[in-house]
């Protein structure tokens, strides 16, 4: 999509559609009064007859005929002005974009002044507006070869309107930031939406390599013999049921010339999770192509960080495997020796994510990271606990958790903390090995994190369980059905 920033009076802008924000109960701003006059009073009649009152996500499409430069005007409700913030803006612009896209309108203009909310700079406001539009306009259409007229139109042109010439630059910055972030989210969504047959661990590795080539990052790919040399018995154990060989993907971004210790981002990369010998039921098994969403978020975050030239050092680590049942698969009762030397009794082969992450966390030690954050679609229990509205966060450092919670609020990718008291670890005790890979039904998300904690050692570490947030069933204003790309916006905000 081509994005331009323009200054001047919004009602003089020639465009197929002009989007104006309206707060609930505020129908008489100077701009709306002016518009009403041009429309011969039809706007005040619409307010009077309660056709439109500015409630959140409410829409009114006007056709001003020749009265104005714009061919159409879309009023979008922002809700009550009190308490409005970044998320309200994203919701509104997401809803507006969906509405216009359904009507095959792909070229529109947005008046920023009508969207101004307290405590948001013009740069931030522009960022949220552009972000919401780009994210709402995303579709995964690679495999739709028939009836092109039934497909949603791709966004073509966006004009961002500011009042004064000297605001163009600041708004331009906001738009550039949004575009860099959305490239990372698009990448993550594309990878997660890609079907399992198209995405082997090697496919993910090649994707990482091409991002590295584009941005000048260092990319290291470990193949099976390398993983054997590294003694990654837990990762290799999960991988041994699939004919597609595992990879460990390592991306390094150097944005800080002072050689500061890096932040390590570790993402679960199970390209398909059938459950292994502890096979999953058929219902919704197709969705388990999304089990590499943590890895996708790590790739997306590194891409965005590089595009934004963020002044930090990062290392992304993605253990990539497929979890399949077969004659060569691991069995319940097997004992694996992890890279850290700890032995693990396999109770359920479907608790595979923690196994590959354990070895990836051990691998991270060589980078001497100052912070380690892992992301994983780790437990169904997380969906039971928090539904689809929050990512679970657990960790061993309250300061890091607080920073991430704040980044969650700011980015709209919200987190909720669960406790990680020592008491939970007793559920992982094994008779025959150092620990077992399942802690029973109670507190499944917490015992999974407690398992990871044993491999996080003395890292400053946080774990994000994105099982409930990585995949969108119904479609939201700026998250279409399918992969959400969750984690990218959160982590870029944290890093910024």
273 binds Mn ion (CB under 5 A): yes
Least distance in angstroms from the C-beta of 385 to Zn ion: 17
Which C-beta is closer to Zn ion: that of 353 or that of 395?
353
Stretch that binds Zn ion, among 49-57, 283-291, 300-308, 313-321 (CB under 5 A): 283-291
Query: From CA 351, how far away is CA 153, in angstroms rounded?
Result: 41
359 binds Mn ion (CB under 5 A): no
322 binds Mn ion (CB under 5 A): no
Return the one option of Zn ion, Mn ion, ligand BES, none that residue 255 interacts with (CB less than 5 to 8 A, by type).
none
Q: Return residues touching ligand BES (CB under 6 A).
A: 273, 291, 348, 350-353, 377-381, 438, 444, 467
Residue 353, C-beta contacts closer than 8 angstroms, at least 6 positions apart: 268, 270, 273, 291, 376, 377, 378, 448
Least distance in angstroms from the C-beta of 393 to Zn ion: 19
Least distance in angstroms from the C-beta of 488 to ligand BES: 18
Burial class (CB in 10 A: 0-12, 13-18, 19+), 218: exposed
Residue 266, C-beta contacts closer than 8 angstroms, at least 6 positions apart: 294, 298, 316, 317, 318, 319, 357, 360, 361, 364, 372, 373, 374, 375
Q: 3-state class of 394 per DSSP?
A: strand
Return the one option of Mn ion, ligand BES, Zn ion, none that residue 97 interacts with (CB less than 5 to 8 A, by type).
none
Least distance in angstroms from the C-beta of 377 to Zn ion: 6
Least distance in angstroms from the C-beta of 452 to Mn ion: 15
Return the one option of Zn ion, Mn ion, ligand BES, none that residue 444 interacts with (CB less than 5 to 8 A, by type).
ligand BES
What does 96-116 look like in DSSP terms, one character per residue?
Answer: HHHHHHHTT--EEEEESGGG-
Token couple for 451? 């398992």
Catalytic residue among 72, 247, 268, 354: 354
- Of 323-382, binders to Zn ion (CB under 5 A) are 353
Burial class (CB in 10 A: 0-12, 13-18, 19+), 357: buried
Stretch that binds Mn ion, among 61-69, 148-156, 167-175, 346-354 (CB under 5 A): 346-354
How many residues sit in the footprint of Zn ion (CB under 5 A)? 4
Catalytic residue among 280, 342, 365, 496: 280
275 φψ region: left (φ > 0), alpha (ψ -120 to 50), beta (else)? left
User: Active site includes 366?
Assistant: no
Query: From CA 395, how far away is CA 465, in angstroms rounded?
Result: 11
Give the residue from 307, 323, 223 showing the smallest Cα distance to 269.
323
Stretch that binds Zn ion, among 95-103, 238-246, 271-279, 312-320 (CB under 5 A): 271-279
194 binds Mn ion (CB under 5 A): no
The count of other CB atoms within 10 Å of the CB of residue 368 is 10
Which C-beta is closer to Zn ion: that of 300 or that of 353?
353
Backbone angles phi, psi at 147, to 5 degrees: 45, 60
The answer to whether residues 379 and 367 touch, using CB atoms and an 8 Å cutoff, is: no
Token couple for 341? 């030397």
Query: From CA 233, how far away is CA 339, in angstroms rounded?
Result: 6
Least distance in angstroms from the C-beta of 348 to Mn ion: 8
Containing H/E element for 294?
helix 293-307
350 binds Mn ion (CB under 5 A): yes
Query: From CA 430, how far away is CA 378, in angstroms rounded?
Result: 21
Which C-beta is closer to Mn ion: that of 79 or that of 353?
353
322 binds Zn ion (CB under 5 A): no
Least distance in angstroms from the C-beta of 291 to Zn ion: 4
User: Active site includes 103?
Assistant: no
Least distance in angstroms from the C-beta of 113 to ligand BES: 42
196 binds Zn ion (CB under 5 A): no
412 binds Zn ion (CB under 5 A): no
131 binds Mn ion (CB under 5 A): no
Which C-beta is closer to Zn ion: that of 172 or that of 332?
332
The answer to whether residues 420 and 394 touch, using CB atoms and an 8 Å cutoff, is: yes
Residue 33, C-beta contacts closer than 8 angstroms, at least 6 positions apart: none
465 binds Mn ion (CB under 5 A): no
Query: From CA 450, how far away is CA 424, in angstroms rounded?
Result: 7
Least distance in angstroms from the C-beta of 309 to Mn ion: 37
Which C-beta is closer to ligand BES: that of 348 or that of 417?
348
**Of the candidate residues 36, 123, 245, 273, the single one contacting Zn ion (CB under 5 A):** 273
Stretch that binds Mn ion, among 245-253, 271-279, 461-469, 475-483 (CB under 5 A): 271-279
Return the one option of Mn ion, ligand BES, Zn ion, none that residue 438 interacts with (CB less than 5 to 8 A, by type).
ligand BES
465 binds Zn ion (CB under 5 A): no
123 binds Mn ion (CB under 5 A): no
Burial class (CB in 10 A: 0-12, 13-18, 19+), 176: middle
345 binds Mn ion (CB under 5 A): no
In the block, tokens 């407690």 appear at 450
CA angle 135, 141, 147 (to 5 degrees): 130
Note the residues at the interface with Zn ion (CB under 5 A).
270, 273, 291, 353
Q: Catalytic residue numbers? A: 280, 354
Note the residues at the interface with Mn ion (CB under 5 A).
273, 350, 352
């Amino acid at each position: 999509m081509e994005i331009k920033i323009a200054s001047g009076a919004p009602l003089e802008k020639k465009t197929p559609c002009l989007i104006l924000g309206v707060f609930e109960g505020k129908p008489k701003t100077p701009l709306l009064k002016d518009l009403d006059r041009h429309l011969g009073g039809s706007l005040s009649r619409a307010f009077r007859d309660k056709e439109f009152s500015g409630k959140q996500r409410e829409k009114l499409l006007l056709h001003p005929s020749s009265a104005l430069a714009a061919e159409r005007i879309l009023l979008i409700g922002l809700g009550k002005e009190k308490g409005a913030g970044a998320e309200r803006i994203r919701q509104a612009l997401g809803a507006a974009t969906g509405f216009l896209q359904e009507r095959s309108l792909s070229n529109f203009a947005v008046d920023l002044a009508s969207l101004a909310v307290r405590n948001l700079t013009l740069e931030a406001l522009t960022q949220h507006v552009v972000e919401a539009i780009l994210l709402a306009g995303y579709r995964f259409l690679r495999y739709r070869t028939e009836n092109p007229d039934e497909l949603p139109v791709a966004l073509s042109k966006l004009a961002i309107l500011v009042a004064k010439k000297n605001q163009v630059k600041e708004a331009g910055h906001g738009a550039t930031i949004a575009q860099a972030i959305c490239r990372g989210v698009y990448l993550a969504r594309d990878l997660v939406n890609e079907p399992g047959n198209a995405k082997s661990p090697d496919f993910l590795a090649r994707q990482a390599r091409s991002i590295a080539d584009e941005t000048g990052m260092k990319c290291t790919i470990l193949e099976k013999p390398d993983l054997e040399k590294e003694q990654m018995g837990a990762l290799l154990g999960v991988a041994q049921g699939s004919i597609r060989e595992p990879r460990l993907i390592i991306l390094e971004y150097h944005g800080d010339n002072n050689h500061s210790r890096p932040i390590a981002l570790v993402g679960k990369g199970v390209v398909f999770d059938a459950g292994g010998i502890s096979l999953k039921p058929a219902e919704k098994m197709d969705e388990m192509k999304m089990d590499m969403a943590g890895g996708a978020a790590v790739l997306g975050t590194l891409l965005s960080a590089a595009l934004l030239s963020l002044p930090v050092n990062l290392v992304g680590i993605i253990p990539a495997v497929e979890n399949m049942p077969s004659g060569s698969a691991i069995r319940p009762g097997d004992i694996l020796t992890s890279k850290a030397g700890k032995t693990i009794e396999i109770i359920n082969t479907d608790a595979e994510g923690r196994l590959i992450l354990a070895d990836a966390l051990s691998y991270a030690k060589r980078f001497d990271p100052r912070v380690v954050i892992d992301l994983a679609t780790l437990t169904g229990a997380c969906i039971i606990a928090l539904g689809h509205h929050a990512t679970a966060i657990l960790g061993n450092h309250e300061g890091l958790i607080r920073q991430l919670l704040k980044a969650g609020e700011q980015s709209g990718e919200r987190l909720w903390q669960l406790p990680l008291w020592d008491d939970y670890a007793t559920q992982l005790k094994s008779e025959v090995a150092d620990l077992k890979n399942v802690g029973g039904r109670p507190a499944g998300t917490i015992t999974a994190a407690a398992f990871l904690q044993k491999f996080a050692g003395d890292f400053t570490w946080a774990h994000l369980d994105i099982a409930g947030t990585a995949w969108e069933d119904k479609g939201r204003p700026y998250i279409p059905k399918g992969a959400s790309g969750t984690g990218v916006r959160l982590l870029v905000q944290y890093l910024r």
